[in-house]
Amino acid sequence: MNELARLILRRDRVSLVVWIVLSALLPVGVAAGSAGAYPDQATRDAFAAGVASNPAELATRGPVFAASVGGLTAWTVAASGAVIVGGLVSVLFVVRWTRAEEQAGRRELLGSTVLDRQAPLASALVVATAANLAIGVLVAALLVAYGLPAVGSVALGLDYLVAGVLFATVGAVGAQLVESAGGARAIALVVLGAAFAVSAVGEVGRSWLVWATPFGWARRVQAFAGERWWVLLLFVAPAVLLAAAAFALSARRDVGAGLLPARSGPAVAGPRLRSPLALAWRLHRGAVWGWAAGLTALGLLLGSAMRSLGSQLDTPAFRALGAALGGGDPAEVFFRFVLYVLAQVVAASAIAAVLRMRQQETDGLADVVLAGPVARVRWALGHLAVTAAGVVLALAGLGIGAGVAYGTPLSVLGSTLAYLPACLLFAAVAVALYGWAPRLAAPVAWSLLGAALVLDLLGEFRVVDRAVLALSPFVRTLTPLTAGSGLAVALTGLAVVAVALAAAGLTGLRRRDLV
Amino acid sequence: MNSPVVTRGLVKTFGHVHALDGLDLEVHAGEVHGFLGPNGAGKTTTIRILLGLLRATSGHVEMFGGDPWADATALHRRLAYVPGDVTLWPSLTGGEVIDLLGRLRGGADPARRAELLERFELDPQKRCRTYSKGNRQKVALVAALASDADLLVLDEPTSGLDPLMEAEFGRAVAQERDRGRTVLLSSHILSEVETLCDRVSIVRAGRTVESATLPELRRSRRTVVTAELAGPPRGLETLDGLHDLEVHGTFVSCRVDPGRLDAVLHALTGAGVLSLTSRPPSLEELFLAHYREEVAV
């Protein structure tokens, strides 16, 4: 197992180090940002009061437990950083080290050596735990070095550790259930998304639901606000159970098989499976419907929560905030905020869909199609059309779900679909990279989306200038959307850039060697 | 004669690596052409250039008189390809893949598809992720053979097949040739090439070292002669063009240079021949001889 852990470290040393360092820098960056933006107690108190009366902030980040620099830091990163980012990356790594290896057939090569059959899973969980431990230690150390109280810094570091490890075990169980790495990731992401939605409803409604998910727990450790250490134990129990379940499943099943068996399928292709577009739809449709259904459910949940909270939403503070942002119905203002965040999630799905092309190419599957009378551009356009359709369905599902549940379907739908060009722009960046520098496509496209997310976070603390903030396509959509004017121009601009980037990418694809 | 595939001085470099270093290949219409070479000799790189997936660094290449890079789509209507390492979409069934590939090419004959499925004993209902390597190869083979393409490009198509299926594959290729199709068969299974191919090209380190019909190749190489004589042989030692001579009493074995067979037989009949076998070199011997020579140089 030592050798296997070493193999994992050897393969992913760069990405592991990048993840650990970036994760550790985020809290201290936010602390510095908070201290800069809200230098005295009065401004921090005002900010905390604003959060308390803002359902959008409550839904995504929960309440502020202490209006100190440390308290605001914990408020920002305890759930968003530790659970979302830490949990997500832990899932991706664990699936990569277990099911993806198995799917690729490399696990078999290792399994024929003297390895124990549990060794791959064990080494994946050990490395994931070690990485999360490193993040936790660094988070605490950097916050102490910055000058925040040591006790709170340690509590926040522990948040990172336990949340990461918990989701590593979620990924481990997902990897045992299904035969494909994509399916395993999807299971873990659904768990993460459902937990987020439940906690959002709980936080806005101030109900017991806040105790039902890791998001609520991470916040209620209350780093820098009278730490409650016992809450950390809430993470440990499910993590131990999930790890035990993963090992039990792995001991029982065949290598390469899942728990959910593969069924046989049709002997003859349906009449529509006759073009690159139809093939692309076939390959993407599971993900497309999954995203659309997930976001529709999330929209319904948010919309109905808002409906039952209409009175709580209509606070003077929130109305003032709404007026400052162009006014309108408080619910609409709220949706604008939430949709702004969720649109970035949809952009992630679009990037993932575009990168499927690269995956098809490296797997040799592009060859099979392109050796037939199919031009490269036609093949790529099939994937891109399905990507775009997926984005439209996801945004529409979110808007319709939220709008129908709240009772204003059209206006909410309009403001979700407004993010279509922004989401497609990220897809187009991935296409351009895929055409010209295919090896860089995945890391650079994801980093750019990550940069947009960080920009958003920093913008909130006014660390970066508005001009820099306007680099983000999401901000470019949100600004005219709240102002109520200039939307057409902004969206056309984004769409033109997206089309130009995609066209450039297709030109590159026509000119380069395929792997 | 118009040749479906012609390359002259084909060069392909990947950074500092010369994958192809002046490769010449000509596949005549209607023949089964064996493309021989060890792993890493450049067979797959050549095929990927022919398919327009890679662009040649320099040299001349044409397929059906067109440029495989610029006219890829049009040319691909006339060919079907079986990759050496067949990967298929895990969530599609074998039957769906066969139909999809056929339809991309403009439709395949359902009767022929059914016949091939039967011949290769392939279950089309299974998802591709559950197929073994051999079965994935069968899917690609059925799709290619069911098409009405003029040229079949097969890259080590039998590496995962069992001996029974290998034999079935041989029969199928022979039938395709009889139907007038051209086959480019890359392989390092020499017995397969020996039984199937009309002409062979042997490549080494990205260069063609030999390209000829098997009889031509054989004529250019030493023949193995063994004989049992009535009395001890005389004068064999002094003959030119005789190699590896071994004499055990009245038993003689040796290898004879091309064009020297007549003189050797004269010497043998001088001593009285009781039995005689004369065997042309096997492809394996030809192949190994090339590599030994090249390595020695």
Query: Which range (A127-136, A309-318, A449-458, B252-261) has the least confidence?
Result: A309-318
One domain for residues A131 and A280: no
Please name the residues between 45 and 74 in chain B that touch chain A, using a CB distance below 8 Å: 48, 51-55, 72-74
Note the ipTM here.
Answer: 0.84
A225: nearest Cα among A55, A83, A78:
A78
A301 and A447, same domain (yes or no): yes
User: Distance (Å) from the C-alpha of residue A392 to the closest C-alpha of chain B?
Assistant: 24
Tell me: do A153 and A285 sit in the same domain: no
Q: Is residue A99 part of a domain?
A: yes
What residue ranges do the domains of chain B occupy? 5-217, 222-279
Contact indicator for A441, A359 with CB cutoff of 8 Å: no
**Cβ B185 vs Cβ B173: under 8 Å:** yes
How close are the terminal C-alpha atoms of chain A, in Å?
33
Task: Write the DSSP string, A315-371.
Answer: -HHHHHHHHHTT---HHHHHHHHHHHHHHHHHHHHHHHHHHHHHHHHHTTHHHHHHT
Nearest to A514 among B53, B88, B100 (CB): B53
pLDDT at B293: 63
| Subunit contact B105:A373, Cβ cutoff 8 A | yes
Whether residues B129 and A180 touch (CB distance < 8 A) is answered with yes
Q: Which helix (H) or strand (E) holds B81?
A: strand B79-82
More confident residue, B38 or A129: A129
- Residue A141 pLDDT exceeds 90: yes
- Clarify whether residues A389 and A479 are in a common domain: yes
CA distance A161 to A157: 6
* Cβ pair A364:B85 closer than 8 A: yes
Show residues of chain B in contact with A375, CB under 8 Å. 72-73
CB-based contact A264 B90, cutoff 8 Å = no
- Among residues A185, A219, A253, the one where a domain terminates is A253
**Any CB–CB contact under 8 A between B89 and chain A?**
yes
Q: Which residues of chain B have pLDDT under 70?
A: 1, 293-297
How far, in whole angstroms, is CA A282 from its chain's centroid? Answer: 24
The whole-number pLDDT of residue A145 equals 94
Asked if residue A339 and residue A240 are part of one domain, the reply reads no
Task: Work out the minimum CA distance from B109 to partner chain A, whole angstroms.
Answer: 13
Q: Which residues of A touch B93 (CB under 8 A)?
A: 264-267
User: Residue B147's closest chain A neighbor by CA?
Assistant: A372
Residue A290 lies in a domain: yes
Q: Which residues in chain A have Cβ-Cβ distances shorter than 8 Å to B52?
A: 370
A263 falls within a domain = no
Contact B54 A513 (CB under 8 A): yes
Same domain, A233 and A288: no
Q: Are residues A300 and A247 in the same domain?
A: no
Q: Are residues A220 and A304 in the same domain?
A: no
Chain A: nearest CA to B168, how far in angstroms?
Answer: 22
Cβ contact, residue pair B92, A262, below 8 Å: no
Q: What digits encode the pLDDT tens for the residues B140-188? A: 999 999 998 999 999 999 888 998 999 999 999 999 999 999 999 998 8
A199 and A304 in a common domain? no
Query: A140 and A64 in one domain?
Result: yes
All residues at 6 or more sequence positions from A230 whose CB lies less than 8 Å from its CB, including other chains: none
CATH architecture of structural domain B222-279: 2-Layer Sandwich (3.30)
Does residue A287 form part of some domain? yes
The residue of chain A with its CA nearest to that of B94 is A267
Candidates A108, A260, A268, A283, partner chain B, best to mutate (most B CBs within 10 A): A268
- In CATH, the number for domain B5-217 is 3.40.50.300
Asked if residue A360 and residue A224 are part of one domain, the reply reads no
pLDDT in tens, A279-321: 999 999 888 988 898 889 888 877 776 776 665 566 666 666 6
Interval A146-153 mean pLDDT: 94
Same domain membership, residue A310 and residue A249: no
Residue A268 counted as domain residue:
no
Domain that holds residue A6: 1-253
Burial of B248 by CB count in 10 Å (0-12 exposed, 13-18 middle, 19+ buried)? exposed
Chain B contacts of A370, Cβ < 8 Å?
51-53, 72, 76
Total structural domains within chain A: 2
Other CB atoms within 10 Å distance of the CB of residue A170: 29
Residue of chain A nearest B57, judged by CA positions? A513
